Chain A
């Protein structure tokens, strides 16, 4: 079964220039539903589809085994505007 930690580690080691990764298990314990936020300047100049493709690529095997997966990708500047 996948945990928040597994996904966080995989993203942090696969995607360069990571500023922040937030993984939330929304499954109430079965590990089948995750919400992910990734902040990295690697997303600079990339549209939303390209950004998601980067994360989908990093979690290729994991996503295949779970039921629900949601992902938001931000650059550091965009993230700064959201958290303030």
Chain B
């Protein structure tokens, strides 16, 4: 149940490319403004949901082992699908390069919680193991409430 929700939400938002986002937000501008424009588009993407993952592939079809592992961890932690968005960098070469520059982090996936960069796959794995990730997600109030199922299926 939760898993399907997570996937559906991810697909919904994940299929919107950065370029499409920009087109909906911005009128075409001069090339000279591109860099600021991309930065702004990334900031918008980062804050588009409480939990945002930039990944290779989509949550239901990750196209890289590291992205797959990260999605798995977020599912196990119980991240609320309604508070989650995924962006597929393989659909958007511009996003793929820009996000690396934005965080000064060389690899994908990249996880953001409340617009704050948390880390890549290794960082998330080891935070999950030590319990720090649960703490962070609890504090950010992005986990599915514990009575979620009883509410839905009385």
Contact = CB atoms under 8 A, between A and B. Distances in A.
Size category of the B interface is: 10 to 19
B119 A52 contact: yes
Interface stretch (B8-16, B35-43, B121-129): B121-129
Interface residues of A, number: 13
A70 B121 CA distance: 8
B106 to A, nearest CB: 4
B127 A48 contact: yes
Interface of B: 64-66, 104-107, 117-123, 126-127, 132
Given A48-B123, A49-B118, A52-B120, 18 more contacts: A48-B122, A48-B126, A48-B127, A48-B132, A49-B117, A49-B123, A52-B122, A52-B123, A53-B104, A53-B105, A63-B106, A64-B106, A68-B64, A68-B65, A68-B66, A69-B106, A69-B107, A71-B122
Q: Top 5 nearest A-B pairs by Cβ distance?
A: A63-B106, A48-B123, A49-B119, A56-B106, A70-B122
17 contacts: A48-B119, A48-B123, A49-B119, A52-B120, A52-B123, A53-B104, A53-B105, A56-B105, A60-B106, A64-B106, A68-B65, A68-B66, A69-B106, A69-B107, A70-B122, A71-B122, A72-B122
